[in-house]
Amino acid sequence: MMNNKYKILFVEDDSNIRTVITTLLETEGYQVIWAGTCKFAQGLFTSHQPDVVILDLGLPDMDGMRFLEFVRRDSLTPIIVLSARSNDRDKVRALDAGANDYVTKPFSTEELLARIRMILRNYQHRADSGKLPGGKFQVQDMVIDYDARQVFIAGKEIKLSQTEYNIVALLSEHCGKMMTYSAIIKGVWGYPDEGSTKKLQVNMANIRKKFGVKPGEARYITNELGVGYRMNGDNADIQDS
């Protein structure tokens, strides 16, 4: 992590957490600007154009969700939500509103740093259009050929059903982002029905088996129970929880 001058906007009203995390991020070479309220954060976001936002949801003037919506009105800047709220509904709400990832307090600083690195890498990926020439996409040793609708791992073709392929392709288009079950279902089937989450889980289990991923391993795709799935970028240092 030498020479990274990525700018992080840290929105947090708790001064203890703010000091600890700001020091940590600066030690890692990031440039940090911070705000303790939604209103101040909006001003900083507009004037500084940060590369990443780390957002606490419990802020004194407004719900952090409002800031999230403000950013998503016209920007794709990655947002990691940091919150004491641990129930799945809040996570789903934040992710569906456009958060890229979610870290629940208390969290390990290593975990937070890993998430930031992954998001920056994937965002970089996407800025380079995320894809290799000729309609291909690669993370780790997995290659997707969008034109041929084929997936390869370590050069070997993995035979997927149409639905399985559609799920993998969709996750790859949002690589690095935790996608909720309902967002994936909408993207793949177009509409939700009673059995869709189950259907998605069955398909995912098949995909993992075909990819040769052992239970509990998060090599290509991470599952957060009750929330959704994320295709991981190049780093394998985030494990299934």
Write out the residues near Ca ion by the rule CB under 5 A.
13, 56, 58
CB of 60 to Ca ion, least distance (A): 8
CB of 111 to Ca ion, least distance (A): 19
Rounded CA-CA distance 220/194 in Å is 27
Q: Which residue of this chain has its Cβ atom nearest to Ca ion in the complex?
A: 58
Alpha helices in the chain (DSSP H): 15-27, 38-48, 64-72, 88-96, 109-127, 162-173, 181-189, 196-210
- Could you identify the residue written with the tokens 């090599």? 219
CB of 35 to Ca ion, least distance (A): 12
Q: For 106-127, b where at least 16 C-beta lie within 10 A, e where not — what string?
A: eeeeeebbbbbbbbbbbbebbe
* Closer residue to Ca ion (CB): 13 or 234: 13
CB of 27 to Ca ion, least distance (A): 23
Rounded CA-CA distance 214/218 in Å is 8
Sign, CA dihedral 113-115-120-122, equals positive
* Closer residue to Ca ion (CB): 63 or 110: 63
Rounded CA-CA distance 183/190 in Å is 9
* Closer residue to Ca ion (CB): 51 or 56: 56
* Closer residue to Ca ion (CB): 58 or 98: 58
CB of 203 to Ca ion, least distance (A): 38
* Closer residue to Ca ion (CB): 61 or 237: 61
